[in-house]
A and B are shown apart, each in its own frame.
Chain A
Amino acid sequence: MTIDTIPTQITPATPDLSGMQLVYQAPEALADTQTHYCPGCTHGIIHRLIAEVIDELGVRERTIGVAPVGCAVFAYEYFNFDGTEAAHGRAPAMATGIKRVAPDKIVFTYQGDGDIASIGGNEILAACVRGEKITVIFVNNAVYGMTGGQMAPTTPPGMVTTSSPLGRDVELQGYPIHLTEMLAMMPGVAYAARRSMHSVAEIKRAKKSIRKAFEAQLQGLGLGIVEILSACPINWRLDPSNALDFIRHTMLPVYPLGEFKVHEALQKR
């Protein structure tokens, strides 16, 4: 068959939508594109929650996102608003630069656990000290995902990774960091919570927390941070369903969920 013989007009059957009501659609703030995330990874859900919140708050046209180095390095491609990509761990400093020169913009960082809790520890700490009016989405999957599953500061004790082949030994490699609880103690932080992607109920709670973290910025209250426990089936060597169970049984005992800091202006709602 030559090219010429391929039918050039293909008319798909148009469904009859009369009498139907649109109840669910992709958020405008989410780019209509494929992501590079692995099967069973929950980054995509977190992206969608952020996009839904941005739409609900009506701030898409003045939002600027800052992607990290790590699995979410291409996050700026997946949102339908302005975005950039920081050096490893430096997103809070970059977001500070943007917010300080453009205070009318809604600025958020999207960072993994290695990015924010290890190499970028000082940048997030300083942003909280200053009470920067930015929002931080902190995705904790307990490993360095992009480089192939090495031990992170968030890796639970005993967990086998490619750089802790005998399991994380706290005597040698220290204890998992509870960054969000630490930051919640700081006066510059207006909202701090930890949520998880392991169940529908938790996903709904995560969205509420993301919304509050953005509202903290909109109201000029201070920095809002949401840590989200996220599945990494490929690097955990688990199928997607067992990866959610890993969050339930191994991560939750180390990382309790909940709100650690809620500014009173956010409580009145």
Chain B
Amino acid sequence: MAKELWKGNEALAEAAIRAGAEAYFGYPITPQTELLEYMSRRMPELGRVFLQAESEIGAINMVYGAACAGVRVLSSSSSPGISLMQEGLSYIAASEVPAVLVNIMRGGPGLGNIQPSQGDYFQMVKSSGHGDYHAIVLAPSTLQEAVDLMQITFELAFKYRHIVTLIGDGTLGQMMEPVEMPPFKEWPEERPAWALTGAKDRPPNRISSLYLGAERLEALNLRLQRKLDEIRQNEVRYETMMTDDAEYLIVAFGTVGRIAQSAVRKARAAGLKVGLFRPITLCPYPEQQLEALSRQVKGILVTEMNAGQMLEDVRRISRERVPVQFVGRMGGMIPLPDDMLPALHKLIETVEHPQSSPAAVLA
């Protein structure tokens, strides 16, 4: 299929449809509303389910219900809406039903604004709700990558009976780019054996997140942790750029990971041996790969559209063998190469001349 010019949110919606989405429940919120609007006309056209819910709480619980019925279902929202969905996400994780969620992140905290942000790293990666679980988190940096990653979301969700989230800052939802849409994915018609489809010629299926006995709830938690281990072993994705001979490493995800490519090129043009590490799965995080690079380089610069959230993981994974510094912007401001390069020079200064340099660099 030829490349076409698509708006991010609409490309994500069409990609989800081609990936096999049978139902969509959502609530309007900028900057992801075009995804819902696109679904409202495209899903009925294909005989699939679209419903605008009364709230994000309603939407995620409709997703929960449809997921229990064994249907490929998704929702989408933006940061404050995701906060409202956390209760439902926790129930979905505990009930082990498959669901897909898109978060086009905006500036926070509070009502914040509708500008791009990566302020939901903790919310998405650490735990989108109460209890011990982590959703699978995919963080594309281009529309093509977003569309391609969307194609595996339902497969992952059904393989692990788990939540798969695809996150991008507001830029990803709002920008237009040439995209090659994949063909429609084929799915078997029958529902999984665990699904609520009516107790015809079988005992009743019951889906619940309630385990009153401590031993039983611990057993569920151990199963969820084993599942997470399996996900960590099988589903890690990342991209590197010019890391083979790199002495300094920039770590960034999503749109910032793309912007950082320019910073790397400019640094290289200035004779600096700088490489880029971009995690594509934020959960599972590509820990082994980052750890190996942290043994190779002299210093690491983390750059994010937040106050330094992934930074904590990079510090943990690298064990701060080498200086780990940060440059970020918040409130809808986007870190650009002009922010990254001075921070990079300060990092190099810290490493090469430790006595004369400040210990940390703040943007």
Do A97 and B62 have beta carbons less than 8 Å apart?
A: yes
Chain A residues lying within 8 Å of B204, measured Cβ to Cβ, are 31, 76, 79-83
Residue B55 at the chain A interface, CB threshold 8 Å:
yes
Do A100 and B197 have beta carbons less than 8 Å apart?
A: no
Q: Bound state CA distance, A74 and B196, in angstroms?
A: 16
State which size class the interface on B falls in.
35 or more
Chain A residues lying within 8 Å of B320, measured Cβ to Cβ, are none
Chain B residues lying within 8 Å of A87, measured Cβ to Cβ, are 61, 64, 87-88, 91
Instruction: Determine chain B's interface SS by DSSP, over half rule.
Output: mixed
Do B62 and A77 have beta carbons less than 8 Å apart?
A: no
Do B64 and A97 have beta carbons less than 8 Å apart?
A: yes
Q: Bound state CA distance, A86 and B88, in angstroms?
A: 9
Stretch at the interface among B65-73, B104-112, B309-317, B328-336: B65-73
Chain A residues lying within 8 Å of B66, measured Cβ to Cβ, are 97-98, 100-101
Contacts of B188-206 to chain A: CB distance below 8 A:
196-201, 204-206
B149-183 near A? 1/0 per residue, CB < 8 Å: 00000000000000000000000000000000000
Do A101 and B57 have beta carbons less than 8 Å apart?
A: no
Find A97's partner among B65, B87, B197, B198 (CB 8 Å cutoff).
B65
Chain A residues lying within 8 Å of B201, measured Cβ to Cβ, are 61
Contacts of B80-119 to chain A: CB distance below 8 A:
87-88, 91, 95
Q: Bound state CA distance, A235 and B158, in angstroms?
A: 43
Contacts of A80-105 to chain B: CB distance below 8 A:
80-87, 90, 93-102, 105
Find B198's partner among A64, A84, A94, A100 (CB 8 Å cutoff).
A64
Closest residue of A by beta carbon distance from B23 = A101
Do A100 and B54 have beta carbons less than 8 Å apart?
A: no
Closest residue of B by beta carbon distance from A73 = B210
Q: Bound state CA distance, A80 and B204, in angstroms?
A: 6
Closest residue of B by beta carbon distance from A82 = B196
Most chain B CB within a 10 A radius of its CB, from A84, A122, A126: A84
Find A102's partner among B63, B69, B209 (CB 8 Å cutoff).
B69
Chain A residues lying within 8 Å of B208, measured Cβ to Cβ, are 67, 76, 84-85
Do B206 and A93 have beta carbons less than 8 Å apart?
A: no
Residue B53 at the chain A interface, CB threshold 8 Å:
yes
Chain A residues lying within 8 Å of B210, measured Cβ to Cβ, are 73-74, 85
B204-230 near A? 1/0 per residue, CB < 8 Å: 111111100000000000000000000
Do B23 and A94 have beta carbons less than 8 Å apart?
A: no
Chain A residues lying within 8 Å of B51, measured Cβ to Cβ, are 96, 100, 130
Residue A63 at the chain B interface, CB threshold 8 Å:
yes
Chain A residues lying within 8 Å of B88, measured Cβ to Cβ, are 87, 90
Q: How far is the CB of B143 from chain A (nearest CB, A)?
A: 29
Residue A60 at the chain B interface, CB threshold 8 Å:
yes
Q: A62-B200, A93-B58, A122-B57 are in contact. Are A84 and B206 (CB under 8 A)?
A: yes
Find A101's partner among B59, B73, B207 (CB 8 Å cutoff).
B73
Q: Bound state CA distance, A73 and B196, in angstroms?
A: 18
Residue B272 at the chain A interface, CB threshold 8 Å:
no
Q: How far is the CB of A169 from chain B (nearest CB, A)?
A: 31
Do A98 and B196 have beta carbons less than 8 Å apart?
A: yes
Closest residue of A by beta carbon distance from B22 = A101
Find A82's partner among B53, B64, B73, B206 (CB 8 Å cutoff).
B206
Q: Bound state CA distance, A100 and B47, in angstroms?
A: 12
A92-134 near B? 1/0 per residue, CB < 8 Å: 0111111111100100000000000000001101100110000
15 pairs from A and B in contact (CB 8 Å cutoff)? A60-B199, A61-B199, A63-B199, A82-B197, A87-B64, A90-B61, A93-B58, A93-B65, A97-B64, A97-B73, A101-B23, A105-B198, A122-B55, A123-B57, A130-B51
| 6 nearest A-B residue pairs (beta carbon) | A97-B65, A126-B54, A97-B62, A93-B61, A94-B65, A61-B200
Q: A84-B65, A96-B51, A97-B66 are in contact. List 6 more A-B contacts (CB 8 A).
A: A61-B198, A84-B207, A85-B207, A98-B66, A98-B196, A105-B198
